[in-house]
Structure 1
């Protein structure tokens, strides 16, 4: 299983398990996350989930060879798995907390932002990688807190820290390195102290409203994204990124 699943005291721990690659996400890993989220939704023993990464990072984002280069070769992003619907088409609307450390880049940043809270270790580095490979990500702007900050990191694609995320308002708690899962557990227990029907209604409304905000931006770029694989600048950027990673390995 590419995504671990364990339950303790009503809390399901979902974990990315590709530590040798900083948990870079292949299609099979995203499908594993979808399965884990669906399992959480139906699991009577779990009332809340915590998503974290094994090893040095939460996740370095989409695997360049398996997702980016593969999409270029296929001429479409349509074949790539995505967990968005697993967050939006649930039955029981159980909250999920992202516990981040190390890299939380690109697709993985989007995953964390789908969650209902983010507990970030100080060593977390976030990045909107997509602009570097020719994909506009204005749809991230409503989810990254302060508008000016969100706009800047989406335009530049620079890495930014967990402390910046806290200041911007999208990081829920900033914690010391190595304490992200423990602090996420403490937050989960506080949430579990409340009547769960109210918690789940809160989650349902928050996610659906957030999805509407994201769609307002994303829908405007739909045609551009559909034609991304035929964009020569994007093709060159993906090729350069693939070559750079190959040189490092």
Structure 2
């Protein structure tokens, strides 16, 4: 049986995770969810990796959850089932390394939630995204959590209740993704953008990401206090000293910390 998740090491300190159920549009199963979580955690702990790209094999990024084993569960079993499916979405926010979604084809339901859960997202100009589970008598109340934090309450509620797929330009306008590029250039542009990020100080990027998520749920003044503490920790790092020195000396910095 083929792995449902494939991990490749690219140049420029970039790793790539591919959802590998192309015949099923990369829909989530318990196996895929578990393998994806494990791959994310493994790469987060790898000092050679600075940025992770997440993409799908075949025609789609991810069309949600495979409901082939939907029937015959108790309420508690359904809870455990869906918690496993959504663990990767939670894992990304807890990681040190940034994760960039490379979106093509369709990203629906839990797939759209996965796009929103990624720290950044680049989409092909013909890609479509949406919280579509309402159309089969379910809902996307899990995936809507990261979607809401990306697009706001009113937009998220519309996506949740109407279940429509939105085209990439509309997803860009509402803040669900960062960039739209021609479909033929998607892989090249995603890797290029990831390489730009990987070239920055790893410790600065990692502190920025962790502080961003930690402060998101704090009160306004407490968020500033938390960020100031994070900035102070960064200022005491070797990379901060190297970065400022390189700027003043008009040279390229050599990052010290992983």
TM-score normalized by the length of structure 2: 0.74
2:138 is matched with 134
Structure 1 Cα separation of the partners of residues 166 and 183 of structure 2 = 16
How is 1:158-177 mapped onto 2 (pairs within 5 angstroms)?
Answer: 158-177=164-183
Structure 1 residue 170 displacement after superposition: 2.2
Q: More displaced, 16-25 or 131-140?
A: 131-140
How is 1:12-51 mapped onto 2 (pairs within 5 angstroms)?
Answer: 12-51=15-54
1:178 is matched with 184
SS in 2 for 1:23: coil
1:203 is matched with 209
Structure 2 Cα separation of the partners of residues 175 and 119 of structure 1 = 7
CA contact (8 A) 1:140 1:154 kept: no
Structure 1 residue 31 displacement after superposition: 0.6
SS in 2 for 1:45: coil
Which structure carries more relative contact order (alpha carbon 8 Å, separation 6+)?
A: 1
Structure 1 Cα separation of the partners of residues 36 and 26 of structure 2 = 12
1:217 is matched with none
CA contact (8 A) 2:4 2:35 kept: yes
Q: More displaced, 128-137 or 197-206?
A: 128-137
2:7 is matched with 5
1:78 is matched with 79
CA contact (8 A) 2:14 2:49 kept: yes
Structure 1 residue 73 displacement after superposition: 2.4
CA contact (8 A) 2:130 2:159 kept: yes
CA contact (8 A) 1:12 1:46 kept: yes
Structure 2 Cα separation of the partners of residues 40 and 31 of structure 1 = 14
CA contact (8 A) 1:52 1:181 kept: no
Structure 1 residue 164 displacement after superposition: 0.5
When residues 58 and 154 of structure 1 are mapped into structure 2, their CA distance, relative to the original with a 3 A threshold, is same
Structure 1 residue 112 displacement after superposition: 1.3
Structure 2 Cα separation of the partners of residues 31 and 199 of structure 1 = 26
How many pairs does the alignment contain? 207
SS in 2 for 1:194: coil
1:56 aligns with 2:62: no
Structure 1 residue 181 displacement after superposition: 2.2
Q: Deviations over 1:211-246 (max 9, x none)?
A: x49xxxxxxxxxxxxxxxxxxxxxxxxxxxxxxxxx
Structure 1 residue 85 displacement after superposition: 3.8
Q: Structure 1 regions of 5+ residues with no counterpart?
A: 214-249
Runs of 4+ residues over 6 Å off in structure 1: none
Alignment RMSD (CA, Å): 2.0
SS in 1 for 2:184: coil
Q: Structure 2 regions of 5+ residues with no counterpart?
A: 219-258
Structure 1 residue 140 displacement after superposition: 4.9
